[in-house]
């Protein structure tokens, strides 16, 4: 006991009597949520790796759909974690009102670790979803904070699982309709620990309204609907029911959505200038005029464009092979290559290619059989398989062999 507190809570202190809330229910929701958090974390790290690959382990170029799948899983698991987390919090929030609020130093630390987990998870998931909507109503840089918070979430989640292991084992071991009612046991019954092991099932609660199984079914249905109406942004055949799919390929020119237009990037004039040329730097520098570029644009490839925000769509590309351009400048398949955009500002106005992607990348002039539109990167853009969309720089001006 930290302080000498009154034995009983104040008279207006909330009391929770719902027989729906139980360790069995919480553990089942928690298991699915834990799997989602795990998948979201791992795929998020893969995405981070796309931005900052190690030079000794460059990103692969095959299978061409790899990033499409990992990033689709990242955004989908993150999105469904929002309703799952809300149900999970609903199932345990009466614990906030246990009396006394803390019973020991250990108990206080446990509560603090949960506060960190809940707060970081809520911020991580909400800002992640708002990022998908391209809305940034906060003053910090999204990407580094999103990554840092991911470590906080996963660290405090692992701690939480370790602390709650006895409850998790108990909760998953009893049928969901049976088992203790989480909130009926007064805190003061177990002053030493929040997680008590001696769960003694009280007499089964009288059935009223929805059952615990009903809560699980409703949650599962809701999550299923979110998945079905969202994955249309990466699984194109499901697009017609993609109510929550933020970007849809039919809504962009040439069947591909656009994240940033030429006007937003302030490149329209530069990209349309008749003097446009591609400057290639390296041991043997040279320039390609627009006519040269179009003459050399004879290579075709099909691979998806996959945005970090989760949308992706298969596409057919035609262009010059980056490797040919690099070789003519004196480089080869092992070169590190910098591809630069006309875009004056912004962190995505240049992109680095090395490893297997050098041999697979195209400097594309055509998309799905037609000349690139200005918003898709006219006159020339980078595109490589298994590469985050944001790294496929548009409106090229130069290639540098490093």
Ligand X SMILES: Nc1nc2c(c(=O)[nH]1)N[C@H]1C(S)=C(S)[C@@H](COP(=O)(O)O)O[C@H]1N2
- Which residues would be at the binding site for Mo ion (CB under 5 A)? 259, 307, 389-390
Q: Which is nearer to Mo ion, 259 or 368 (CB)?
A: 259
Cβ burial 207-245 (10 Å sphere, 16+ → b, else e) = eeeeebeebbeebeeebeebeeebbbbbbbebbeebebb
* Helix residue ranges per DSSP H, 93-181: 105-132, 142-173
Q: Which is nearer to ligand X, 83 or 252 (CB)?
A: 252
The verdict on 259 binding ligand X (CB under 6 A) reads yes
Closest CA to 75 of 215, 227, 274, 278: 227
The verdict on 401 binding ligand X (CB under 6 A) reads no
Q: Which is nearer to ligand X, 202 or 346 (CB)?
A: 346
The verdict on 341 binding ligand X (CB under 6 A) reads yes
* Helix residue ranges per DSSP H, 273-361: 290-296, 322-328, 356-360
The verdict on 258 binding ligand X (CB under 6 A) reads yes
Could you give the CA distance from residue 237 to residue 251 in angstroms, rounded to a whole number?
15
Please, which of residues 293-332 interact with ligand X by CB under 6 A? 305, 307
Quote the least distance from Cβ 396 to ligand X, whole Å.
8
Tokens matching residue 392: 């496929």
User: Which residue's C-beta sits nearest to ligand X?
Assistant: 389
The verdict on 339 binding ligand X (CB under 6 A) reads no
Q: Which is nearer to Mo ion, 125 or 390 (CB)?
A: 390
> Site for ligand X (CB under 6 A): which residue of 360, 376, 387, 400?
376
Q: Which is nearer to Mo ion, 32 or 390 (CB)?
A: 390
Contacts of 189 (CB under 8 A, 6+ apart): 196
The verdict on 268 binding ligand X (CB under 6 A) reads no
Q: Which is nearer to Mo ion, 51 or 140 (CB)?
A: 51
The verdict on 74 binding ligand X (CB under 6 A) reads no
Q: Which is nearer to ligand X, 144 or 224 (CB)?
A: 144
Closest CA to 325 of 249, 237, 396, 243: 396
> Site for ligand X (CB under 6 A): which residue of 343, 360, 363, 386?
343
Rounding to the nearest 10 degrees, give the CA dihedral for residues 375, 381, 382, 383: 60
Tokens matching residue 370: 């037609």
User: If 0-12 CB within 10 Å is exposed, 13-18 middle and 19+ buried, where does residue 83 land?
Assistant: middle
User: Which residue's C-beta sits nearest to Mo ion?
Assistant: 307
**How do strand 286-289 and strand 299-302 relate by DSSP bridges?**
unpaired
> Site for ligand X (CB under 6 A): which residue of 393, 399, 400, 401?
393
Selection from Mo ion, ligand X, none that 257 binds (CB < 5 to 8 A by kind) is: ligand X
Contact 23, 179 (CB under 8 A): yes
Quote the least distance from Cβ 343 to ligand X, whole Å.
4
Q: Which is nearer to ligand X, 121 or 256 (CB)?
A: 256
Contact 384, 390 (CB under 8 A): no
Quote the least distance from Cβ 358 to ligand X, whole Å.
18
Please, which of residues 345-364 interact with ligand X by CB under 6 A? 346, 348-349
**SS (HEC) of 56-99:** CECCCCCCCCHHHHHHHHHHHHHHHHHHHHHHHHHHHHHHHHCC
Number of residues that bind ligand X (CB under 6 A): 21
What residues line the site for ligand X (CB under 6 A)? 256-260, 265, 305, 307, 341, 343, 346, 348-349, 376-377, 389-390, 392-395
């Amino acid at each position: 006991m930290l302080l000498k507190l009154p034995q009983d809570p104040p008279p207006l202190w909330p009391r929770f009597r719902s027989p729906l809330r139980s360790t069995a229910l919480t553990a089942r929701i928690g298991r699915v949520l834990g799997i989602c958090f795990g998948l979201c974390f791992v795929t998020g790290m893969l995405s981070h790796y796309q931005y900052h690959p190690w030079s000794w382990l460059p990103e692969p170029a095959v299978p061409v759909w790899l990033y499409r799948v990992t990033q689709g899983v990242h955004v989908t698991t993150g999105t469904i974690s929002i309703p799952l987390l809300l149900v999970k919090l609903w199932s345990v929030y009466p614990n906030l009102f246990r009396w006394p609020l803390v019973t020991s130093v250990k108990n206080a630390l446990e509560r603090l670790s949960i506060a960190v987990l809940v707060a970081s998870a809520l911020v991580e998931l909400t800002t992640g979803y708002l990022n998908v909507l391209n809305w940034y109503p906060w003053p910090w840089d999204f990407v580094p904070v999103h990554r840092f918070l991911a470590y906080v979430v996963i660290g405090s989640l692992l701690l939480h699982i370790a602390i709650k292991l006895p409850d998790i084992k108990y909760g998953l071991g009893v049928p969901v309709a049976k088992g203790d009612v989480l909130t009926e046991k007064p805190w003061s019954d177990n002053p030493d620990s929040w997680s008590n092991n001696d769960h003694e099932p009280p007499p089964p609660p009288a059935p009223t309204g929805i059952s615990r199984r009903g809560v699980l079914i409703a949650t599962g249905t809701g999550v299923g609907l979110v998945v079905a109406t969202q994955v249309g942004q990466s699984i194109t055949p499901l697009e017609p029911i993609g109510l929550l799919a933020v970007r849809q390929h039919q809504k962009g020119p040439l069947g591909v959505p656009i994240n940033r237009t030429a006007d937003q990037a302030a490149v329209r004039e530069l990209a349309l200038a008749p003097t446009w040329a591609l400057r290639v730097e390296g041991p043997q520098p040279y320039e390609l005029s627009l006519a040269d570029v179009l003459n050399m644009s004879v290579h075709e490839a099909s691979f998806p464009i996959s945005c970090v925000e989760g949308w992706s769509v298969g596409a057919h590309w035609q262009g010059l092979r980056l490797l040919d351009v690099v070789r003519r400048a004196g480089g080869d398949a092992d070169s590190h290559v910098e591809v630069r955009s006309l875009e004056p500002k912004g962190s995505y106005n240049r992109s680095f290619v090395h490893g297997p992607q050098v041999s697979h990348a195209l400097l594309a002039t055509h998309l799905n059989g037609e000349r690139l539109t200005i918003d898709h990167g006219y006159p020339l853009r980078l595109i490589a398989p298994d590469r985050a969309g944001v790294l496929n720089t548009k409106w090229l001006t130069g290639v540098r062999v490093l």
